[in-house]
Amino acid sequence: MAASHFDLPLSRREAISSSSAFLPGILSNPGQVQAREVSVSRGTLRDVVDDATYAALVYEPKRKEQTPLPLLVVLHEAGRNDETVWSLADPLGEHAGLAPSLLFTGRAPTALADKFAMVAPYSAGKRSFYEEPRSKILQFIEWVCSEAGQRAGCPYVDPNSVYLFGFSDGATLAVELATTRRFRACTIAAYGFSGTLPKLALDRLKGIPFWVFHSADDVIFPVVYSDRLVTSLRTANTENTEIIRYTRYDKDQEGFEGSVRGHSTGITATKLPDVYEFLLTSNRA
């Protein structure tokens, strides 16, 4: 099962703040942001709240046509989660390096910033979404796609073009959510389930494109977890194995060391333009 790592001796905040990749071009700390909406380089970030489920940050690109956008749902990793929802955009925060912080600082790939609406719910008061009912996050996603969500500030999205990006605990949850067949394709990084998925789950995942990322030196979730998942997914898709991609790094790509070494593939994957093109061009069977 997934293990939380929010109180490891070397926090992700410390690892990120010591990484040169995050030093140049950092904007003001979004934890200080009081406004509900902030204009960023290629669009708008705003906070929204569904009282029945979660607060979240949403992103909407600048555009002329008011056609529905594909929606990327970003599920963050475990953390303390004791700040405001704007901590998701903090370039030195515990969830730094994922889509909200790259969009906030103007460093997101254009394939993300121009082509997707993004929503990142915040598991306030919980170590991660893995502690929450699966029905709650699904209810939240339906709210985002609804007229009620739009009235609250969510972008106008295509409810049939919803994609998942999950990191660590968020990756483990993303696989479970994908068994509902609600999502067109998934990108997951540092998957944390130690077991083997049952046949029923694999039957429900058949035909859903996945791009899996993991690093062989991950000291939190061993890479064998993703090895096992990818083998199972490819076995379930024997007639269409190319829909299952696997990027398995030999070592940490972000310079993380110590008790978080290797556990940065969510950051690495978020920066890759090909990830977003993969999602948009994937056709679920």
The domain tally of the chain equals 1
Residue 2 maps to a domain: no
Instruction: Note whether residue 6 is domain-resident.
Output: no
**In the structure, what pLDDT confidence band is assigned to residue 64 with cuts at 50, 70 and 90?**
confident
In a domain, 3, yes or no: no
Q: What pLDDT is attached to residue 151?
A: 96
Residue at 126 is within a domain: yes
- Tell me the percentage of the chain whose pLDDT exceeds 70: 87
263 in any annotated domain: yes
By DSSP bridging, strand 55-61 and strand 37-40 are: unpaired
Backbone angles phi, psi at 144, to 5 degrees: -55, -40
CA gap 93, 17 in Å, rounded: 9
253-272 per-position pLDDT tens digit: 999 999 999 999 999 999 99
* Domain at 202, CATH number: 3.40.50.1820
Report strand pairing: 43-49 vs 37-40: antiparallel
Statement: the pTM of the whole predicted model exceeds 0.85 = yes
Give me the domain span that covers residue 195: 12-281
Cβ burial of 84 (10 Å; 0-12, 13-18, 19+) is middle
| Domain-embedded: residue 256 | yes
pLDDT for 135-169, tens place per residue? 999 999 999 999 999 999 999 999 999 999 999 99
- 117 is a domain residue: yes
